[in-house]
A and B are shown apart, each in its own frame.
Chain A
Amino acid sequence: MRIGTLKESYVADAALFDSRTQHVWLAIAAAALLLFPFMANDYWLYMACLVAINIASSAGLNILTGYTGLVSLGQAAFMGLGAYTVAILQLRWGTPLALNLLAAGVVAMLGGLIVGVPSLRVKGLYLAIVTIAATFIAHFLFANFDFTGGTSGLSMRPARVFGTDLDTSFRLYWLIVPVTVLMLLGAANLFRTRIGRAFIAIRDRDISAEVLGIALLKYKLLSFGLSSFYAGVAGGLFAYFFRVITPESFPLSMSIFFLAAIIVGGMGSTLGSILGAAFMTMVPELLKLVFDLLPGGADLTVFLAPVRLVIFGALIIVFLVFEPLGLAEMWRRTRRFFHLWPFKN
């Protein structure tokens, strides 16, 4: 908590961004996001779009896992649902982009609700395993239906907005980043409402929450639905971004990636989703840079993929054991340090 900010009303206290410093920072961040595409080259734009898509999906998973305490290993499958929805709508009916993205979210949400139904009977880890089952069932459906293009998947035309084809990373940036920012604002605001607070109550102790009058099934399903809605929209963006989707585009390891992202970033924190997804997306690229700098780097590249896997796993373990609140907490600590300096925090 920041000191030196006096609140005079509950509304002010509950505000999303509560201090002037924060407003300044937000303005800087917004300016940076606006200027970035004009300064960066194609590679960095590509990475920025990828990071934004991953942030959107991680934010969704964070609602379910970080805030409601239900582990899901099905995030990739829900993204797949969204991606296929977008592709099929565009290829069959040529419907506009905004509608497609919305439909992607809704279809994924329905999928999420179906998978969430067993939460009526089973809890916690059993549920995580149902989501693994969902991943494989979704893969089977994608691979064996005609209208999903079988194992070779679907190829799309670029999205067309106001007569422009969104076919370069530069143009896609203006679609993907604003949508992601909107979704993040939505997620952050969610936890100022009754629904969001109910989620947190369920996470902290579901039986107590029920005693408090929170309908468990309803809210758990809602959490599942919201989380998969996010995944679906992210999947839709994924489809517009890569324009080729196959059943193999959404493997179980991708779901694990998102779980790792929120663990590393910080569960139960929107900032955590951002930091985690950005960090984990950049890890392979950073590793490449490190390997290039090492002496004899060329011979070491053979180890790049396994090292990446080891680091992925190790990050999950290390953060869970030593810093369960993730990068977001480290960030907060650093901020506090500067804030209170020279006094001890």
Chain B
Amino acid sequence: MTQTKSGLVETRHLLHHEPPIFEQGAAGRSGASLPTLDVPEVSASTLFGDLHRDAEPSLPEVSEVDVTRHFTRLSRWNYAIDIGMYPLGSCTMKYNPKVNERMARLPGFAGLHPAQAEQTLQGALELMYRLEQVLCEISGFARVTLQPAAGAHGELCGLMMIRAYHQSQGRFPRKVLIPDSAHGTNPASVTLNQMECVPLKTSADGLLSAETVRAAVAQHPGDIAGLMVTNPSTLGIFEEHLAEISEIIHQAGGLVYMDGANFNALLGKVRPGATGVDVMHINLHKTFTTPHGGGGPGSGPVGVVEKLIPFLPTPTVEHKDGVYHLNYNRPQSVGRLRSFFGNFGMHVRAYTYIREMGGVGLTQATEMAVLNAVYLRALLHEEFPPVSDKPSMHEYVTSDKKLKKETSVQTLDIAKRLIDYGFHPPTVYFPLVVPGALMIEPTETESKETLDQFASALLAIAKEAHSEPDRVKHAPHQTALRRLDETKAARQPRLRWMPQG
């Protein structure tokens, strides 16, 4: 503690080490508020016989005050967008507007039961219909399904439609071409469709070349189901040859799937559905500001071109004579990807955001997102050279190559030391094709001052790497916990709290 000039004690904020909730409370305590029973008591043991559970599940015995403090204290151990910049590459951690939260909680949305009759759900169906329309306008696709619960779920859905399309033509080609820089969800989604990945090497400039695709297609004659490509790629650069590549895939009878994780680079600039892409998922929790919630929920709508419409999941929302209804009569549909209608609460938030921004605002968002990334690259390129000479779009990918050659410091250390400077680290060690990758996506919601501070922090760390490498290698120093032992966690898995003794 230090004395300030006024003589008062200066404190920093308090952080409590908080034991698991199971180690708190006292027998007989409860945080429940339950109604008095106004119908006769019944005996569960008589009704259920052998099925009756004798002992209650051992849940905590705590008051509402205990619970509130516990989860409030724990929350303070989290970094969050509302605390500071979150430059995770490929994650598009932009600000989550507060008005979205309020709108999603309106009783006319939050209180709707999915089994209600259509005529009592008109407003919700209209919202889903309108969201589909604005997403079509932004992405250039003919229709969009809102059912997938997340990006990977959207990939699964898109690949199912590709498979169903081929099967409707009496074919079942199996090979899906995937660049080596792709997200891991891409190959995993392919496997779930009983298809096989053919990895494609990106060229030295980081782009996917038409020659590579042509060669891969030639190796698997008649067996090309499609191509999955992320654009901009995970190197943050635009796939300049995508039009030609799409043509090669189409000629081979395949379809082009675009991973829309990086769609924030393209709003108002490129409409993938109008440029040769057949299917694309959109991450509402990235591009369209629905909050990430510490891991979810997300929402992964999928857009398709005209010829894939029959295969969209059921139901679709239709509009006729001023009435909205759900269409289940879709014989070629891939069916149902989950219960009910998708993560509707996320649809409300994304629609709210899109309507606030409008077309001009969304385009401006993309412009400023790209400007921010390119600006960071300009500030940092000497110490942290970009991995591709091609222009960066919404994110700038660098690595520890230079620093590692000159010092003993590597990517993980840089990431952890950034925490001491008040920033969340960028995405690290991804894409896998770049050893020691640092993938920096500032998004449009960060100001020039914040970017300047972030760049200064990284440059300061580069200096420290030379002058006091141990300080960097043992970072973070300012967090409540130091580096955690991940090997121990994996070797001796403890995946739930256990009573002692």
A is bound by B: no
